[in-house]
Each structure stands twice: as C-alpha cells, then as structure tokens.
Structure 1
C-alpha cells in the first residue's frame, strides 16, 4: 500500500500541474493544441483524474499500517504523528482540493462569481501540494523525483508568469462555453 500511496500521490501532483497549465490556457482563449472548448474539457478531465488519484493516495495510506494515517489527519492539518508538518501540508492541499472540486461540480448552482473565487484557491493548492511531496515522501530527494518536481514547478511558474503578465488576455466566454459543453 505504501508504494501505491507514493505513486498515486506523485502522479496526482503531475496531473494537478497539467490541470493548472490547461486551466490558464483555457482562460486565455487561445487555441494552442485543441480548440478552447477542448482545452477546457482536457483541464476538467485532468483535474478530476488528479482528484481521484488524491483520493486513492489518501485511501491507500489510511489502509497502510506503516503510514499510521488516521482519518483525523486527513481533515485536521498538522494533527498527525508521522511528519506532522509535511502531512499537514497535504491535509491543507486536500481541503483546498475538496473546495475547488465541489465548486467546480456545482458551478451552475453557485454562480460564476463564487466559482471563480473558490477556484483561485488552486494557486494556493498547487504549491502546498508540492511542499507536501517534498517533505512527506520517502523519495523526497531522489534525483528522479526532484527532476519531476522541477519540471512541474517550471511549468506552473511559466504559466503563472504568463497569467499575470500584461500580454495575457482573459476570455470570459471560455468558461461559459466549457460550462455548456461539460454541464
């Protein structure tokens, strides 16, 4: 279970990275590889798959006797006995992911303003998840994992840099088109 937990956690971070990059590209209104609607659908698929992997990650560690993860550790940050600070960051990431996922699934009921406000938590969720991977994992400073994390961090840094630059133009219709296609 421990190896499965590690694998699903690392894969979830990679897919969260893909979701963040695709989300920013979708909001830009630029058809990079796919049409805008396709990018929005790809973003949502990557995000939901990452969410499922996080659930598998947490579930497998709850079942693993070596990890000694308790249900309270999944909900209350920094309450755990195993690497409490690092696991606590994971708990914060799970809590933020839950809020973002629920807002995404209920976006038509809560309205676009509330959806966007909660969705901005992704910019906090991603680095918190990265810190969790660095500190909680047994592979934290292995060269292969550091290479994966550098690529993920570089991709997010590049897309966030573009997002906050003057050259970024946000297309408001992207969310509406994606909502009609996905809803």
Structure 2
C-alpha cells in the first residue's frame, strides 16, 4: 500500500505541474481576448477555469496522498507552513508556498465579485510567482527530478510558460478592450 501512495503522490505532482503550466498559458491567452484553436474567446476563459479546477484537484491529491504516505511523513503543518518540513525543508517549503498561493488564488477566485475586479486582478498576479516556485519545488524535491524523462518534461513545461509570459510582456500582446474590462 505504501508504494501505491508514494507512486500516486509522485504522479499527481507530475500531472499538477503540467496542469499549472496549462492554467498559466490559458490565463494569458484568456487575458489577450483572442480565440484559441478554434474556440470562441469566451470559451478560453471557461477552459482556463476548468483546467484550474482540475489542477487544484490534482494538487490536493498530491498533498493529501503524501500526508497519508508513511514514507513521505508530510504533516499538516508541513503542508501549510513553508520551510518547516523535517525532510528537505527548503524544497518542500517551496511546494508549500506554491500550495498556499493556490489557496489564495482559489479563495479570491470564489470571492471575485465581492472583492471587485481591481483587487481580484492584483491578487491574481500571484500566479506569475506561483509557477516558478512550483517548478523549483518539482526540480528540487521530486523523486524523479534527476531522471532524463522528467527533466525533458519539466523543461518543456518551462518553455511553454516562458513563451506565454514573454508574449504577455511583448508589444504584440495588445489585449482587447473586452479582456481589459473583464468581459472575456
């Protein structure tokens, strides 16, 4: 049973990295107000939200499974308080920081209409910090971090995230008025 928990904890972490990458890319595309692969513009925002929900699900599975795994010995405080883990506190702490940022993004997403667009957007900028922190966690504490296949996988995710962010920062991004006013 321990091997199953460990394997599921690893797999859900690996899937979480890809999903967080997709959420970042889709969020940037959604903000641009442009269609994606034949989807209408409004659908990009819906796919972004659905992918974010799926990412959160896999992240909760990742953390929860490792909390149940007697080998990982991840406690509740390790999962919510950064840099206090008994094993590999720095790299696990980065994962905890990323998890805490995800919680903040989910809460503000749920309270978006009560917070107002400006506050929501200000907090949502944390997603740009979340991704590299999660990436560093994956490279630093992942069991498969040293393997060639995982390195290729992780750096492919990094390439997708970096490409999207560079596009976001470029003059060619030019978001539409609908995106600027949150109507995408």
Match of 2:159 among 147, 150, 154: 154
Is the Cα contact below 8 Å between 1:27 and 1:172 reproduced in 2? no
Match of 2:20 in 1: 16
Please report how far the alpha carbon of residue 32 of structure 1 lies from its aligned counterpart in structure 2 after TM superposition.
2.3
> In structure 1, how many angstroms separate the alpha carbons of the residues matched to 2:48 and 2:115?
20
Match of 1:29 in 2: 33
Please report how far the alpha carbon of residue 172 of structure 1 lies from its aligned counterpart in structure 2 after TM superposition.
4.6
> What is the 5 A alignment of 1:130-169?
130-169=135-174
SS in 2 for 1:176: coil
> In structure 1, how many angstroms separate the alpha carbons of the residues matched to 2:96 and 2:159?
24
Match of 1:3 in 2: 7
Match of 1:102 among 107, 122, 135: 107
Structure 1 unaligned blocks of 5 or more: 179-183
Match of 1:91 among 90, 93, 96: 96
* Large movers: runs of 4+ above 3 Å: 174-178
> In structure 2, how many angstroms separate the alpha carbons of the residues matched to 1:83 and 1:172?
46
Match of 1:177 among 164, 168, 183: 183
Match of 1:60 in 2: 65
Aligned residues: 178
User: TM-score scaled to structure 2, two decimals?
Assistant: 0.94
User: TM-score scaled to structure 1, two decimals?
Assistant: 0.94
Please report how far the alpha carbon of residue 171 of structure 1 lies from its aligned counterpart in structure 2 after TM superposition.
2.7
Q: Single out whichever of 167-176 and 122-131 deviates more from structure 2.
A: 167-176
Q: Single out whichever of 72-81 and 168-177 deviates more from structure 2.
A: 168-177
Q: CA RMSD in A?
A: 1.1
Please report how far the alpha carbon of residue 68 of structure 1 lies from its aligned counterpart in structure 2 after TM superposition.
0.6
Match of 1:181 in 2: none
Please report how far the alpha carbon of residue 144 of structure 1 lies from its aligned counterpart in structure 2 after TM superposition.
1.0
